[in-house]
Amino acid sequence: MFDVRRISTSRWWHKKKSWAFFGIFLFLVFVRISKGSFFKDFYYFISKPFWPGQFQKEVILESTNQEFLMQLNLLQKDNIRLRKILSLQESPNDENISAAVISRKTGSWWRQIILNKGSKDGVEIGSIVIGPGGLLGRVSNTSLFTSSVTLITSPESKLGVWVDRIKTNGLLVGLGDDYPSLILYSKDADIKVGDFVSSSPASTILPPNIPIGIVQSIDEPLKSKKTVKISLLAKPQVIDWVQILKLNI
C-alpha cells in the first residue's frame, strides 16, 4: 500500500513538472513573437522612478519657474518705477472692486451699463472697468450705490490703444455698434486681420496691456490714415460681473 501511494505521488509530480515546462515554453514563444515588448514595458514601469533624467527634469523645471518668477517680479518693479517717472496710471490688483451689472443699454446709441457699486464703495468717475476678455469702458457717473459705465463701443468713447505686432499706437473710436473703429495715422501701417489690440503703454488714462480686441477687417486707406474694425474680446451684452480698477495717478 505504501508503494502504491509513492508511485501515485510521483506521477502527479511528473505531471505538474510537465505542465510547468509547457507553460514556460508557451511564455518563451510569446516573448519571441512579441519581440520582448512585454519585458520592455514591464521594465519601463518598474525603472521609471529611478530614471536620472526624471530628477534632472524636475530640477530644471523648478529652476526655470524660479527664473521666470524673478524676471516677472523685476519687470513689474521696472514698470511701476517707469510709470511713476512718466506720471502714468497704475492699477494695483488688491484695490479692484467686483461689481454686478444690474442694467444695460448695449443695443442703443448710448452704449452704457449700470453697476451695483457706487461712491460708497470707492468707485470714482474715470475708473476703468474690465470684464472677462478685457476692457469694457470707463465710469462716467456715480451715485451712492451705483455707477454708470460708458462702453468703448459708445460714440462718446475715444481711447489710445496699441498694436503690439507692429509696435504702433492708434485711436479707438466707438461708433454706436459692436465694432469700434481703430484709426492709425499712417496709411502705410502694416496692420493685418487677427492682430491683437490692447491699451497703450503710453496712455495717461488706461493702465497698460489691458486686452481690448482683434482686428476683424481693414478699410480702404485714406490719404493720411488707415482705419480698421475691431472685434472686442469682452462682450458687454453677455457679461454679468465686472472689475472696477481703482486707479492711482
* Same domain as 140, residue 30: no
* Same domain as 102, residue 6: no
* Same domain as 197, residue 168: yes
CA distances from 202 to 2, 87, 162, 208 (A): 106, 10, 9, 7
- Residue 237's nearest CA partner among 136, 109, 156, 140 is 136
Residue 180 in contact with residue 157, Cβ under 8 Å?
yes
What pLDDT sits at residue 238? 82
* Same domain as 248, residue 176: yes
User: How many angstroms separate the CA atoms of 204 and 123, rounded?
Assistant: 19
* Same domain as 104, residue 80: no
What pLDDT sits at residue 43? 46
Domain total of the chain? 3
Sign of CA pseudo-dihedral 29, 30, 31, 34:
positive
When mean pLDDT is compared across 15-29, 39-53, 122-136, the lowest value belongs to: 39-53
What pLDDT sits at residue 126? 92
pLDDT band at 205 (very low <50, low <70, confident <90, very high): confident
pLDDT band at 74 (very low <50, low <70, confident <90, very high): low
Angle at 191 between CA 179 and CA 203, to 5 degrees: 70
When mean pLDDT is compared across 51-55, 137-141, 145-149, 240-244, the lowest value belongs to: 51-55
User: pTM (2 decimals)?
Assistant: 0.62
* Same domain as 55, residue 104: no
Please enumerate in sequence order all residues whose Cβ is within 8 A of that of 144, keeping only pairs 6 or more positions apart, or say none: 118, 119, 120
For the chain, the average pLDDT equals 76
Range of the domain at 28: 2-48
* Same domain as 130, residue 240: yes
What pLDDT sits at residue 105? 82
* Same domain as 117, residue 71: no
* Same domain as 209, residue 167: yes
C-alpha dihedral over 80, 81, 86, 88, to 10 degrees?
20
Tens-digit pLDDT profile for residues 111-134: 899 898 899 999 999 999 998 888
Give the amino acid at 166.
I
What are φ and ψ of residue 134, in 5° steps? 150, -150
The answer on pLDDT for 56 being more than 50 is no
